[in-house]
Structure formats: structure tokens, C-alpha cells
Amino acid sequence: MADDTLNDVLIDRLRSFLSKPNENLDGIRSAAARLHSRCASQVKYRSPALSQLTSLNATQLIIKLLMQLSGKESQISDMLLYELVWIIAQLSQKDSKFSVKVRLTGSARTFHNILRLHYNNPKLLYPLLIVFKSLSRNVTTSTVLVKDGIVSTMEKVIVSIGYSPSPKLRLSLNVMHSLTRSKLCCTKMAKEDFVPLLLRIFERWERYNGKMRLRILTYTIITLKHLSNTKIGRKAIKSSNGLNLLYKFCVLCPNDRTYDSLLPRVASIIGTCMDKKVLPIDTTGPVLFSLPVLKTENSDTSDNTTGSGMRTSSSRETTPSADGSVAESFDNNDDDDDDASDKTQESDAGHGPYAIPPPILRDMDDLCQYAAFFQENVVTSNQEARTFEEKCIPRAKSYQEFGTHGCDSLGEHRDYWLINDRDGLRSDSYLGSCHLQHQEPSNDENSFWQKEVERRLNNYMRTVRSHSSCSCYDVYKREMTWKASSDPAMNSNLQNSLHMMGLTILSDIPKHSSVHYAYCAIASKVNTVYPVVKVAYPDMVGGDGSGQLYPLHIKDRKVCRAKLMTSVERAVHPHLLLDRVVYDLDGLIQQDAIAKGNDSGEKHLYNIDERRVGHRDLLKHHLLFESRFESGNLRKVVQIGLHEYELILLPDVNSVKHHQWFYFEVSNMEANVTYTFNIVNCEKQNSQFNYGMKPIMYSVIEAKEGRPGWVRAGSDICYYRNNYQNLHGRSRSWYLTTSFSMTFPHDNDVCYIAYHFPYPYSLLMTQIWKWSLSVDPSLIYFRTDCLCYSLNNNETPLLTITSPDMESNRIKDREVVFLTARVHPGESNASWVMHGTIQYLLSNAPAAIMVRNKFVFKIVPMLNMEGVINGCHRCGLSDEDLNRRWSRPNQYLHPVIYHSKGLIEYCARIMNKAPFMFCDYHGHSRRKNVFLYGCCNAGSWNQVDRSNSDDPVDYLMLPYLMQHFSKAFNLQACNFRVERMREATARVTIWREFGVKRSYTMESSFCGCDQGFYQGYHLDTIHLKEIGANFCEAMACLKDEGGWKADITPEEAARLAGLTSKEQLDESPPMSEISDNSDFSSDEDFH
């Protein structure tokens, strides 16, 4: 008889006995024995037999037989019970719905009763433990079992088994480790003296051998970890001498890689059970910022009040709307914790399962205020230009007045803006040897993309060569000459195309000033919440990296083990620490406030680091620290050893969390001495510091000797949980430590250490000043405006870049591209990528000319300048993630988001021209490489979106082109999902509300690359700027959209749509799966 037929017959026979099982015990035993034999037979028959039995509903059948035969009136033999329990044990491992079926049949207590009666039966115990292993993994059934007294039963089971290593002991501990996920179970274990029994098993760990030792240890430690999460459990562990046993394990733990996962867990239990240890700082920040008081329907005052005794920075007025009214009431309930923020957005997404909140459209008259930022569309003559300027903007300075002397920001790096070949870092000549070697497609599905990209790249290269043959500018000069001859007043009009008076912070800087002077003058005008006493030397001189390729750090597990053990030692023996405070920002702020009194004079910032080097403070025998400069972040430093320091970071302004970004100065060091820095209040559960990332360091002496630039530095880098409790996190959560060691190359140097390459607000404004002086307005239309003022009265720069207006190519007919960056202030790499984009757009490269000729670029290079200025990581002054405010921004609390969105809304509704593309630049703290997030209907959470088809070419072409131009780009990491929790982000809001098909977030790693040309290396500033240039080159290939879309056949489009939905969407993990808090990141998500 065939195997499948035999299984059917046996199941049918058992089903026929179900009505009167006590009268057919022999028949049931015979059928059960046959089934047990088949389930436990050779491996090649076992899996198919179990799968077939599951499909035949054998699980429910055997459960019902057991329930009936286990009744009080039934007299089931041990042999029959053995057969049935073994069948259930086998099925429980194969049937994914086993626990649900047990719950629906109400048989959990039946199994518990069988275990209670037969716990000392060695033959029945093993299959019963397999059953309970499956049941304990389900929250509902485990709760039922705990309430039914499973804890006391399992205690009897373990006592009967003994402490010798065995599969039964392993299974018993496995069951307990699953059950203790319930706090109720932990409470019962502590009350019933189960903890001493568990510790006796743990104490004998050295007597176990091989894999059995590792498994028993793992289950025991995880069970103890669950117990330590309850107050009664911690008390039971301490009263049973558990801390000493755990500490002894840490000391004697074998130096083997297989035990590396156990040591952090044991250290975590010790830290949890010790007396609560908190950071030696106030729970709030040293300075609070008063937010605008908003009137709502329910109250006349804001809930944002300052604490008593705290110094408060004044709030400034923001740019009002046309009618002077508040656009909407501010929702104080939004939480900046990433998980909570996501839940808030999900609840805001609508009441129904497929509801999307309707967009809040602004009044048309209100939107007309943005006409001043699109003046390039209406200026057609010199007279109109003068009239428009008088009405809408301040008087502009001419190009000759600014001059071009000393401005060589493009000239110094002219050869950098090249199309990179695949064999070197850059080509030797752009115009003479433009070429690109294409990467081979990974599979046949990419054939369409290979052909399409190759065709468009060839067209692109032909255009480049044609421009090269006529010296790149002939096309423009020819038309400019024609227009000048027809309109003699045109030259004056061209010279006035640069409107820098929109940024008053740049208005009084002399044109021949040095970059150092310009930077200090700009920084002195910046309004800060925290007091600043200087400008940072690296930012003053340009802030670039060294340009070298630094390999990723190789983690040394022995070093990490040693640091973890040191952390345990210090928790157990805190008196061994030196504990000397060497830097205290809170105290310095109070001293500064007393010293200044009511002095409100202008500040004049400068830097004298070059004069400081070589001098030592003989009265101080420790390192000296400073962070009171723009973007600096360091709150307190405690010396705990001769050359070891604990560092505490500032939270975001008006917040008590978001600790990741650090930037500080160190001096008074000795050369060739290893100093250890432990940043002890990090919050993310994991970090790229565990996967190859190094911090960066800048030496003033190295810069003076002709070797300027940030370098990747540090050794013995690791990231682990410490013993400081996070009072503002989830219940019983702890901070984590970023630990690294540095050896400084010079005595008495002045060095700066940072999380990533800083790009402060003053550096951006200095770069805008330099670009404004170097641009030739006869070839490039470049205008800078102040979009609005921030909460603390700092200007928000808006850049407009395109080609000058021409008779054959009018500006008003060109597509508009919106680019934004730095909505999260800690993502400084986004600013460096944006720097590369702007610098390339202002260059003479043929691709730059092509995109300027096709597009009008509206760029907001820094969306969250207040966070950047004050050294924040995630939020601005309102303690909100501004990338969760795009759907409903508040005019007064989120002015930059409000007016940036207003620009796009003006473009879409007043000009009737939806942007061709929107891209928001971000940095990512948990992934490597560079990649894009986009939007597509097929990947949306909303059923209405999924019912509407879209053209995958619209949003996939740019990522495919980026893969060919950028060596750091990873196409496989791109994601086009539209998740409900991301509805309020810039990318999704612009896509949904304004119909922008190419709405992207471009993510670049803080760390480096694990694929492609830069595999195994960090990304430097030159590489980040290169990515920004590559983005423009890819856009240059998008300009002939009508032609290449018409060439796509229906078959290719269908295959492309299938590729998108199947490979890109199903196989790519949603952002929520990689979010660790989700600074995600981003993080557009929470990087």
C-alpha cells in the first residue's frame, strides 16, 4: 500500500474510534503504533509523513483522543499514552499552528495534567517536554499554563532529572526560558524558590562539556535575565548569592568565540541587579529654549515651560504667513522616540484600515508670498527686473562689486569633477578622456536596464563630446551675444542675477576677505542656545577630510571582552575609580551667565589654536576638553583612570534623549600615550562602531605642517551596554558605551574628535559666500535668498541654480527640481553630499551644463540649522523629528519645513508645474554604502494605492543610473515601500500630496562600503562630494525622458513591473525591521 494511502487509512480508523474511544482501545493502540513508527522512522520518510498528517488534521484528532482517554473514567495504558504523546510531540515540531489548536481545543491543562502525573516517568518525560517546548513559545498558552501551576511542576521535573547534563535537562531549561518571558511566571518562580534551583544548575556549568554546556548555559542565563527584569526576581537572585556566581562566571569564562554572546548577558544581569546607578548630571539639559506660545481652542498658553532655576534662551520671531495666522494647532502629544513617533504617525494615518488623512491645502493668496523665490520665471527685461526687485527683494549687489579675487573654490579642484572610471579614483582629464566602464548585470532580469542605461549613457557621452569640441561655453556665449546685441540693457540685467542681499549674514563681508575672516565673521552673527567661546579650527579652514581611503576597523573580540569585564569590575568595585571631573559644561554655563550679567554686546569669535600648540598647562596633569563652539557636543568629562575618561554627551535642546553626535576638542596631551575615551550615554542598541567604523580626528599641528584634514583614527573600538540606567528610556533600560583609544602624534597638540565630518551652519554660509563670488552670471544663474527665519532667528538659505534665460530655452519652461538636506542635524554626511551637488552644478562640466539647461534647482541645503548649530543629533529646538512634520507642519514651530513645503505647493498649484524630482539627503547609521528610498503604488501600505498602477521606469531609472555613475551606490539596498509609519516624511508627503513620481531619500553611510569599488573602506569628504556630483550626472541622463520612455515595449514594461513588485518589494525588508530605535536611524527612518 502506498505511504500516502496508508496514512489516510490510519487517520480514518482513528477518527472512527473517536466517538467511543474506551471501547476501542486495542484498535487505537494498533493505529497509533503504526503512525508513531512512521513518524519516528527513517529521515527520508519522516518529514513527508508529518507534513501529510498535519494536512489531514491529525493534530486535532490526536489531541481530542488524548482529552477523552485522559478523563477520570478512562483507564488508558502507559503504552497507549506513550504512543499518542510521541505522535503529538512529532507533530508539534512540524505544525506551525500547534499552540493555536491546543488553545482552541482547551487542551493545555490536559497536557499539564499528564505531565503532573508522569513527571518521574523517564519514558514519557522526553516527548512531553517537546510538547511543552512548543506550547511555551505561545504567549496565550504559556499564560494558561502558568496560572495552572506549571512552575511548581517544572521544579519537580528538574529535581527528578538531576543536575547532570542531559537532553531532558536542556529541554526543561528551554521551556523555562520561554515561560519566563511572562512577568507572572517570573513572580511565581521567585515566590516558589525556583531561583536557587536555577543557580545551582548554573554553578555547575564547568562540569558540562561540548554543545550541551553551551545550550544549558544559554537557557539558564536567559531565564535569569528575564527574572532580573522584575523587582522580586532581582531580590531573589541577590538573596541566593547569584551576583557572586555570575561574577565568578565572568572571571572564569573560557576565552572562546562561542561564549562571546553569553558574557554581555551575564554582565547585563549583574548591572541590573546592582543598586541603581545614574549619570552624574541633571536630568534636563543645561539650557532650555522657550518655544513660541501658541493659542489653541482649549488654552491660551503653551505647555512648553521651563524648569525653575534654569537659564532660558529667548525665542525669536519667525517668518509669518501672508495673513499672519497660525496654520494649525500644534500637537503636543507627538513623541520623538522613534518607536513612539511611528505609532503616532500610524494613528494619524486615518481611522479606517485604508484611510489617508486629507492634505491641508493653504490659501492661494497665502501661497503668493513665494512668488519672490521664483523671480527667475518673470524677469524678462531689465525694466521688469528693476520693478520686481523694488517690490519683492532688497537691492542686489552686482557681480563686479563682489569681484572674483581670491575665490578659487572650483579652480583648486577642477579636475575632481570628472566622470570616474572603474579602475581609479578619478580620470586625468574630463574633456579629453570621458569614459565609463559599465558593471555587468547580476542576472537576466536586468537586461532591459542594461540596454536602456547603456543607450542613454552613449547619448550622454556624445553630448559631452559635442560640448567639448566647442569648448563647452560656445553654445551659451553664442546665444548670450545674440541676446546682448538685440537688447543692449541685457548685460546690466545679467549682472544683477545674483541676489545675495537675501542673506543679511553675508551682506557686510568685504569681497577680498580671507576665508578665515569670513568664517569668523559669519559665526559671530549666528544665534545659539548654548554659549560659544570660539570657532573650531577644522571648520574655519574648510572642514575637509584628508582625501585618503581608510580601511574599516577590524573588531578585536579580545579587546571587547576585556572592556566588558572592566565594566563589570567597576560595577562591582566602584571605589577603584579615580572619579575626577575635568570638564563640566553645566558649571561653565552658570559661570558664564554670572560673568556676563546683563551684557548684551556683540560677540566676536575667533580661533588661536595655532598659537596654543606647543604650550602645556603645568598645573593640569590631565587632558583638557572644550566643546563650546558651533556643532560641539560634550557635557561632562570624568577622569576614571590615569589615561582613561568617561564622556557624557548633551541631549538635543529641550530634550532628555537623542545622544549620538559628538564633537569636542582635546589638548594638553602627551605624544605616543594611549588615551581611552568612553562615551557612556549612547542610546541605540547597536552601532556601526561594532562593524568597522572609526571616529575622526583633526590635528592642528598636522595642519600647520601641511597635512590638513580629518583622519579616521582610534583603536580598540567597541560598543556595549554599561551600568548607567537610562531614566528616560523604557522601563529598566540602560545606556550603552562607545569606547575607543587614541594615540596622539604630537605633544601639546590641539586635536578635535568627532562622530563624523562636521559641517556646521557657518561653514555652509561661508561656502555660499565663496560660491557667490566665483560664479559668472553670464553662464550660470545663481541666486541666494532667505527662505525664512528659524526659531532662534537664524536665516534659512535657499539657493536657485539654473542656466541664464535664453530665447531658445526660457527659464519658465524648464522643469523644477527640489533638493533638501540635513533635516537631522547629526547627519553631517548629508551636507557633504549636498556640497558636492551644489559645487558640481556650479562647475563647467558638460553634465552640469546639461542639467542647468534642463532644470531649475531649488535647494534648501540645511533644513534644521538650529539642531546643527547647537550640536543636536535628531531634533531641532522643539524636540521633534522634523522629518515627521512634513504632512502638517506648524508655521511657528516648524518654520523651515512649513515654508519649504510652501515652495513646493506654490510650484504645484500656482505655477501648475509639479516638481520633476524631489530628493532629501540623509545619513544612515546602521547600513553601509549609498542607496535611495523611493515611492511606488505597488509597495504602499494603502490598498487604494496598490489598486492604481504606476510606471516603474519613473522611479527606478535614477537608481539604476546612480549604480553606473557612483562607485559607492548599492542598488540592492534601495527600497520603494510606502509604509504607514512614514506618511509624514518628506519623501512620502511630496509623493502623495503633489504627485511627484520621483520623490526620494538618498542615504549615505556614516561608515563606508561593503561592496563595489570602495568595499572595506570608509567614505571621506571627497567621496561624499563625489556622490553629490554623481547624482547630477545621473540626472543629466534623465533629461530626454520622452524619448526613452517611448522606446519601452509592453513586454519590457510588464517584466519591469514584475521585477519591482517581486524582487524589490518582497525581498527588501521594510524599514521597521532594521530600525533599532528607527535613529533607524536615519535615517529618514531612525538612523
Name the pairing type of β-strands 674-682 and 644-648. parallel
The answer to whether the CB of 872 falls within 8 A of the CB of 816 is no
Buried b (16+ CB within 10 A) or exposed e, 1015-1054: eebbbbbbbbbbbbbbbbbbbbbbbeeeebeeeeeeebee
Contacts of 975 (CB under 8 A, 6+ apart): 931, 933, 934, 939, 1064, 1068, 1070, 1071
pLDDT, position 358 = 81
Judged by DSSP in three states, 103 sits in: helix
Q: How far apart are CA 174 and CA 137, in angstroms?
A: 10
**CB-CB contact of 968 with 1015 (8 Å):** no
Distances in Å between the alpha carbon of 70 and those of 32, 107, 114, 292, 777? 16, 11, 8, 71, 92
pLDDT confidence of residue 997: 93
- CA-to-CA distance for 63 and 111, rounded, in angstroms? 9
Which DSSP category does 590 fall into?
H
Q: Is 6 helix (H, G, I), strand (E, B) or coil?
A: helix
Strand partners, 921: 821, 1002
Bond into 1083 cis (ω within 30): yes
Closest to 436 in 3D by CA, of 395, 464, 402 = 464
Considering only CA atoms, which of 637, 663, 649, 632 is closest in space to residue 534? Answer: 632
Buried b (16+ CB within 10 A) or exposed e, 421-460: beeebebeebbeebebeebeeeeeebebbbebbeebbeeb
- Burial label for 527, CB within 10 Å (0-12, 13-18, 19+), is middle
106 to 11, 129, 144, 390: CA distances (angstroms): 22, 19, 10, 82
Does 702 qualify as catalytic in the annotation?
no
607 and 762 in contact (C-beta within 8 Å)?
Answer: no
Cα–Cα distance between 709 and 699 in angstroms, integer?
Answer: 8
Residues in the chain: 1087
Instruction: Characterize the bridge pairing of strands 917-924 and 999-1005.
Output: parallel
Which residues lie across from 919 on neighbouring strands? 819, 1000
Q: Is 287 helix (H, G, I), strand (E, B) or coil?
A: strand
In angstroms, the CA 526 to CA 987 distance is 30
CA angle 225, 230, 235 (to 5 degrees): 90
- Report the 10 Å Cβ neighbour count for 774: 18
Can you say how many angstroms the Cα of residue 793 is from the centroid of all Cα atoms in its chain?
29
Q: Print burial letters for 242-270: b (CB count within 10 Å at least 16), e (below 16).
A: bbebbbebbeebeeeeebeebbbbbbbbb
DSSP letters for 655-680: -S------EEEEES--TT-EEEEEEE
Q: Collect the ranges in the chain with pLDDT lower than 70.
A: 1-4, 6-7, 17-18, 21-24, 38-47, 71-75, 295-355, 379-501, 595-601, 729-732, 1039-1087
Q: Can you give the three-state secondary structure of 147-214, one letter per residue?
A: HCCHHHHHHHHHHHHCCCCCHHHHHHHHHHHHHCCCHHHHHHHHHCCHHHHHHHHHHCHHHCCHHHHH
> Cell 575637509, residue?
544
Separation between Cα atoms, residue 412 and residue 726, nearest integer Å: 49
Torsion angle in degrees (nearest 10) through CA of 589, 590, 591, 592: 50
Helix/strand/coil for 146: helix
Contacts (Cβ under 8 Å, ≥6 apart) of 745: 671, 672, 699, 701, 702
Please classify residue 597 by burial: count the beta carbons closer than 10 Å to its beta carbon, then call 0-12 exposed, 13-18 middle and 19+ buried: exposed
Beta strand spans in 232-317 (E): 287-289, 311-313
Q: Sheet of 663-667: strands edge to edge? A: 624-626, 663-667, 750-754, 696-699, 711-712
Rounded to whole angstroms, the Cα distance separating 929 from 552 reads 13
| pLDDT digit string, tens, across residues 666-704 | 999 999 999 999 999 999 988 999 999 999 999 999 999
Q: What is the rounded distance in angstroms from the CA atom of residue 825 to the CA atom of residue 873?
A: 5
Residues whose CB falls within 8 Å of the CB of residue 111, separated by 6 or more in sequence, listed in order: 66, 102, 128, 131, 132, 135
The whole-angstrom separation of Cα 597 and Cα 607 is 24
Helix, coil or strand: residue 1087: coil
Active-site annotation holder among 665, 683, 1003, 1033: 1003
pLDDT for the residue numbered 486: 44
> Closest Cα partner for 879 from 621, 611, 557, 529?
529
Given strand 999-1005, what is the order of strands in its sheet? 781-789, 795-802, 855-860, 815-821, 917-924, 999-1005, 930-933
Cβ within 8 Å of residue 1043, ≥6 positions away: none
The secondary structure of 696-710, three-state, reads EEEEHHHHHCCCCCE
CA-CA distance, 33 to 498, in Å (whole number)?
A: 91
Instruction: Compute the distance between CA of residue 1060 and CA of residue 564 in angstroms, rounded to an integer.
Output: 45
Beta-bridge partner residues of 644:
641, 676
- Name, in order, each residue with C-beta under 8 angstroms of 354's C-beta and a sequence gap of 6 or more: 942, 943, 944
Instruction: Give the position of cell 527667475.
Output: 376
Contacts of 21 (CB under 8 A, 6+ apart): 28, 65, 68, 69, 74
For 38, half-sphere exposure in the C-beta direction (CA atoms, 13 angstrom radius) is 22
Name the pairing type of β-strands 696-699 and 711-712.
antiparallel
Tell me how far apart the alpha carbons of residues 77 and 713 are, in angstroms, rounded to a whole number: 72
Name the packing angle between helices 98-105 and 122-135 (round to 10°): 100
Q: What is the pLDDT of residue 30?
A: 78
